[in-house]
Each structure stands twice: as C-alpha cells, then as structure tokens.
Amino acid sequence: MRSEISPQTTATATVTATATQTLQPVVRAVVFDLDGVLVDSFAVMYEAFAIAYKEVVGDGPAPFEEYTRHLGRYFPDIMRIMGLPLEMEEPFVRESYRLAPQVPVFDGIVELLTTLRVRGLRLAVATGKSGPRARSLLDQLGLLPFFDHVIGSDEVAHPKPAPDIVEHALDLMGFSPEEAVMVGDAATDIASAHGAGVASAGALWALSDAGELLAAEPGVVLRRPADLLALCPSVPGV
C-alpha cells in the first residue's frame, strides 16, 4: 500500500523548519547518517568504549561524555582529538561487532525507508563508522536492502566534517547536490552537507540536547522520522 503525507505530517515539518538555510525541493536522493538517526546505538557504544578504555588505558572512569561530543567523526580521529591511544580502536571495534545484535532501530525508521523507496527515491548511508562495520550492522538489523550504498569514513580521503563522504554518495548514485538531502543528528553531519552543497535536515529524535546541532544551522529540523516525508514527494515517472 502506498503511503502518503498526511496534513498533520506536512504541518509538523513546516513548523519544525527553524534554520536560516532555505531547504530546496528534494525529489531524488536521501543520504542518512547512521548512529542516532537510523539506529539507537548509544548504550552499545558506551559499553564498547568502556571495555576498550579499561583494556588499553586501565582503571578509572572512561571519558564517554567527552567522546559523545565528537560523534559523527571517524573513531581514530576522535582518539587523536581526545589524546587517547589509537590502540583503543581494536577492542572498541571487536566489542561493537559483538554487541551489534543489541542495537535497536528507531521507531518509524522502517516505515520511513519503505515509503521513500516506494516513492522512487535512492538512499545511501554516510557514517563515521568504517564501511564494513556499518554494512554488517545494517545487515544484521535487516536494513541493508533499503540502501543503494553504505559508505564508511575509512572509504573516503577526508571523513566528516569534510564533504567527501556526501559527495562520494552522490557520485555513486549519479545525482547533483541540488537533488539530495543529508539527514544527520550531529554538527559534523550538517557541516559535511553544507560543504557538499547539499540541503541538510537535523534529526532530533535521539537528542536530549539539540543545541550543538541547531547551532550548525540545518536547513530543516525533523522531530520524528516521518517528518522527512513532507520533503520527499514521489519521484516523477517512477
């Protein structure tokens, strides 16, 4: 059954558009961040980070709160910013794989992705994770078939907040920046979209404090996944 935008959904998307950037019509492609947008990986991330910190650094509280301020970046880059050993990556990745089945998909995401595909849009993921780890997680959660491409930070020359990963997604799908929107929950996502000349949408459903995201000036703010549908009508001729 073909899902359509309800008047309430349209009104919600209109009301929640807050930033100064004007969002251009999006009719062909959506590039999603992964963590905090499609999946709620926060608890698993915390456990993996704590184990990696204890194994490599030793006893004491793992600085997870500081780590979360850099989400969206590639893990080795975060370690460099925080002054932590790069050796933490191996146990962090190992535990992330082990705990992946515990990661929940946000409510409304499956319905959103299904409707976008029915409407003829092409979909990609551009994530701070490595490509293999992102594809493995999406496969385990049954989301991988929705996406034409899943790109990790290890698969571009410069990860977020640089525009490379968004530009690469568009190149693979064959679209211009004007034909796409990037959906993210972090300032790095918005910066990457801006650098690529792509319209940006800030996802609020996982955030307790949206201040940093809003300060990055996304073109529109989405309070729930379904709000994106008001911006993505059916692709003509599909």
Exactly one of 35, 40, 189, 227 is catalytic; name it: 35
Residue whose token pair is 């050993």: 85
Q: Distances from the Cα of 180 to the Cαs of 24, 65, 81, 94, 104, in angstroms?
A: 9, 32, 31, 34, 27
* Residue 57 identity (one-letter amino acid): V
C-alpha–C-alpha distance, residues 179 and 152, integer Å: 22
CA dihedral sign of residues 23, 208, 153, 115:
negative
* Residue 136 identity (one-letter amino acid): S
Q: Distances from the Cα of 103 to the Cαs of 64, 133, 141, 156, in angstroms?
A: 18, 13, 8, 26
H or E stretch including 4?
none
C-alpha–C-alpha distance, residues 18 and 42, integer Å: 26
Q: Does the annotation count 33 as an active-site position?
A: yes
Exactly one of 33, 164, 189, 227 is catalytic; name it: 33
| Residue positions annotated with a catalytic role | 33, 35
